[in-house]
Amino acid sequence: TLAHVIRFVHERRPDLVVKRAPQTAPAVQENITLTESIPEPITAKDADSVKDRILALVVEKTGYPKDMLDLDLDLEADLGVDTVKQAEMFAAIREIYNIPRDENR
């Protein structure tokens, strides 16, 4: 699925996932104030740049309009993207994000 493609990029390039600085929040326990670190959740918006770039690539390679694409669509079964075109897309994705080719895959 397109979601798997985006996850592939995030797994190989975790630096592309925006991590927010933790906030500090006071915690009171028996009249003693402690400061504990509470990380902010990573929002879906943080992944938008990768998602948008992947979707743009799929639009470019397949000719499908962006509004027809859904992250749950299977590349081959739903979009008719054959294995040759999938290989081309993954080669382009690896090049765009500087992801080395895994010889074992």
Q: Are 81 and 73 in contact (CB under 8 A)?
A: no
pLDDT in tens, 22-72: 555 555 555 554 444 444 444 444 458 999 999 999 999 999 999 999 999
Which one-letter amino acid corresponds to residue 53?
Answer: R
Report the predicted TM-score, pTM, of the whole model to 2 decimal places.
0.69
**What is the average pLDDT across 14-27?**
64
Residue 97's nearest CA partner among 46, 65, 51 is: 51
Q: Are 37 and 24 in contact (CB under 8 A)?
A: yes
**pLDDT for residue 47:** 54
**pLDDT for residue 18:** 64
